[in-house]
């Protein structure tokens, strides 16, 4: 059998994840999960050589994780990372089968939602509007792009992975407002309404973007773009690029805001607006069996602290 190095193959696997569009944080987590497996091998005095991985060793690894981590989600994540890595090795014909395929893990425990408070949502909106007013040229266009990202997450509950794939044609005119079209390879496309506060900000962004593309003789079909301080580099914005935007917000506002927490704020907003649960699930792109129970329980605990509403242009 071909000789191969475990660390080299792990590096190849992580690079493949990057080519597949996985975010910087996701790849960093996979790297940490694989290091945990390496530590197990060293602890068992096996060294970093895996030419076979028997059911007994699989069970030993399961016990090792249970002893090391209190959280079942932490154990689950590390098993899933290793399972995907062995799938990668299987695809290179380095293993006859995935030894972790039958390894039982505890069901995933969902964490309680931690939405961005509405006061911080407003604070973020005002900062983004101010940045647009205080800049010009490419810097103003980038700030305007960031405001569109904000609207699509808080207004329409889009995930980072959805944002990264949007084309300009994904924004559909709907009488007085707009809708965003979400398309996935394995399900039918669907559209989500975007609140009216988006209208003026999007029209400004679209006009500035088109003007910049004409000026630079560029052709970009994507709604968003990647840029450095001097020029647009490419159409589309990777999950890592969106993460950097939120890192900048956290530094600028001194608040704990992420794309996930802002999306959770959107879910609470829809619940406060009495949007039917079936509609919320459709807009979130989840199965009908997905439960909103954790959100409903949080509303019962602290209804006054979970009051969210659509933004108005005057809020900026």
Long-range contacts of 50-58 (CB under 8 A, 24+ apart): 50/6, 51/1, 52/99, 53/86, 53/95, 53/99, 53/100, 54/99, 55/99, 57/99, 58/99, 58/100, 58/103
pLDDT exceeding 70 applies to what percent of the chain?
Answer: 94
Domain-by-domain residue ranges, the chain?
Answer: 6-91, 118-315
pLDDT at 275 over 90: yes
- Topology of domain 118-315 in CATH is hpI Integrase; Chain A (1.10.443)
DSSP 8-state symbol, 113: P
**Cut 0.85: pTM above it:** no
For the packed helices 6-19 and 24-43, what is the interaxial angle rounded to 10 degrees? 160
Evaluate whether 98 touches 289 at the Cβ level (below 8 Å): no
The class (CATH top level) of 6-91 is mainly alpha
Query: pLDDT-derived band of residue 249, with 50, 70 and 90 as boundaries?
Result: very high
pLDDT band at 50 (very low <50, low <70, confident <90, very high): confident
Per residue in 153-179, pLDDT (tens digit) is 999 999 998 998 899 999 999 888 999
Residue 107, pLDDT > 70, answer no
C-alpha to C-alpha distance for 122 and 157, rounded to whole angstroms: 16
| % helix, strand, coil for the chain, step of 5 | 60, 10, 30
pLDDT tens for 57-88 read 888 888 888 888 777 777 888 888 888 888 88
């Amino acid at each position: 059998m071909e000789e191969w190095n475990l660390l080299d193959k792990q590096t190849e696997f992580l690079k493949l994840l990057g080519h597949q569009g996985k975010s910087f944080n996701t790849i960093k987590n996979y790297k940490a999960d694989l290091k945990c497996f390496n530590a197990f091998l060293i602890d068992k005095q096996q060294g970093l050589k895996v030419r076979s991985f028997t059911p007994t060793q699989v069970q030993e690894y399961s016990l090792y994780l249970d002893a090391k981590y209190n959280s079942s989600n932490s154990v689950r994540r590390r098993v899933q990372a290793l399972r995907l890595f062995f799938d990668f090795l299987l695809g290179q014909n380095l293993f006859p089968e995935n030894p972790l395929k039958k390894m039982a893990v505890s069901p995933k425990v969902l964490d309680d939602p931690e939405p961005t408070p509405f006061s911080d949502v407003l604070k973020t909106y005002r900062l983004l509007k101010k940045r647009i007013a205080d800049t010009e040229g490419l810097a103003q266009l980038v700030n305007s792009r960031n405001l569109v990202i904000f609207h699509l997450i808080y207004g329409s509950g889009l995930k980072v992975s959805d944002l990264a794939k949007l084309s300009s044609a994904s924004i559909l005119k709907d009488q007085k407002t707009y809708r965003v079209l979400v398309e996935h390879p394995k399900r039918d496309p669907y559209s989500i309404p975007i609140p009216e506060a988006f209208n003026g900000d999007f029209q400004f962004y679209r006009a500035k973007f088109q003007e910049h593309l004409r000026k630079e003789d560029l052709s970009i079909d994507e709604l968003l773009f990647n840029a450095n301080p001097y020029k647009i580099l490419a159409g589309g914005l990777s999950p890592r690029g969106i993460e950097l935007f939120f890192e900048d917000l956290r530094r600028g506002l001194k608040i704990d805001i992420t794309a996930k927490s802002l999306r959770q704020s959107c879910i609470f907003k829809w619940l406060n607006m009495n949007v039917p649960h079936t509609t919320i699930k459709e807009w979130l792109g989840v199965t009908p069996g997905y439960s909103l129970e954790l959100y409903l329980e949080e509303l019962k605990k602290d209804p006054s602290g979970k009051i969210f509403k659509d933004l108005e242009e005057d809020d900026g």
